[in-house]
Every structure is written in structure tokens, then in C-alpha cells.
Homo-oligomer: A and B are copies of this chain.
Amino acid sequence: MIVLAVLLLVVVLTCVPYLVTIAFAQGPADASPIFGVTVPEGYKQWELIAPAEEAAPLDELRAVVGNRTAIDAYQDNKLPFPDGTILVKRAWKRKQSPEFASATIPGEATTVQVMVKDSKKYASTGGWGFGRFINGKPVDEAQHRTCFACHEARVKSRDYVFTRLAP
């Protein structure tokens, strides 16, 4: 009887770290530092806003997609973007097409970058929260400190958003 009880206790205690891991899998561990932004569910199904290309050293192809709130705001030329707007930039290394000499296609995925509009929560950064993810994990706090400074310096007049809706 005691042997069984001890065995049960060992089994339960062994499980604890795994249970904690599961509980936090989509929690704080996957949220960006400073902003607490996560990769939104189902973003790959979202509508395309525009593709882009980034020269070396990054040497990437990119595609920015947005949720319904984002697309509606773009189509109505509405600035600032309303709360609830989410923009996601997907990025891949540029890769030579194996079948067509003049074509460049997506290689390995590099980063996923997210902007979330919440004018109250992110009042000190133009109403935007930022997240930069590699393999689903946020990069460090130092990198996240650079997001708003760059957007503010270059596209403050466009509500801090670089990407325009492709015609």
C-alpha cells in the first residue's frame, strides 16, 4: 500500500514540469518583451496587403497580411488605424527559382513580425505594440526596443506603418 502511494506520488511529481510547460505554451513565454504581443492565430489565412523585397544583408522576400480591421482601414484610407488592427509581416530568404532563371522565390522562413493597435495599452509607442518572432519565439528585449524608434523616425505621418495597400 505504501509502495503504491509512493509510486503514485513520484508519477504525479514527474508530470508537474510537463503540465506547467503545456499550460504556458501559448502564454507569456511566446509573448514579446515590453509589449506582450503574440503571433495571432490563423494569420496565414489573412488577406495580403503587399509583398516586398529587402536587399542584402537581409536579402528577403516579404509579405504583409492583415486582419479584417486592417484591410477595412486600408481600403477606406483610414488613418490612424483603429484599435484591433493587426498587421503581420512574413519573411523568407530570397532563393533562386530552380525552374526559371529570372525568378526569385521564398527560401527558408526568417522572421514573423507583428503590429497590434491598442491606443490605450500602447499609448507611449504611438498606439502600437510590436513583436518579432523567430520559429515562433520572440526575440530579445533589446531588439524590441528598436521597433518603435525606427517606425517613429520614418513613418509617423502614416500612423507609424510602412506598408501601403498594393494597388
Interface residues, chain A, with chain B CB atoms under 8 Å away: 44-45, 47-48, 50-55, 58, 61-63, 65, 90, 92, 94, 97, 99-100, 102-106, 108-109, 154-155, 162-164, 166-167
Contact = CB atoms under 8 A, between A and B. Distances in A.
Contacts of A99: 154-155, 162
Copies of the protein in its oligomer: 2
30 contacts: A44-B47, A45-B47, A48-B63, A48-B65, A50-B105, A51-B51, A51-B52, A51-B63, A51-B92, A51-B106, A52-B97, A52-B103, A53-B61, A53-B103, A53-B105, A54-B102, A54-B103, A54-B104, A90-B166, A92-B167, A97-B162, A99-B155, A100-B154, A100-B162, A103-B162, A105-B164, A106-B164, A106-B167, A108-B167, A109-B167
B52 A105 contact: yes
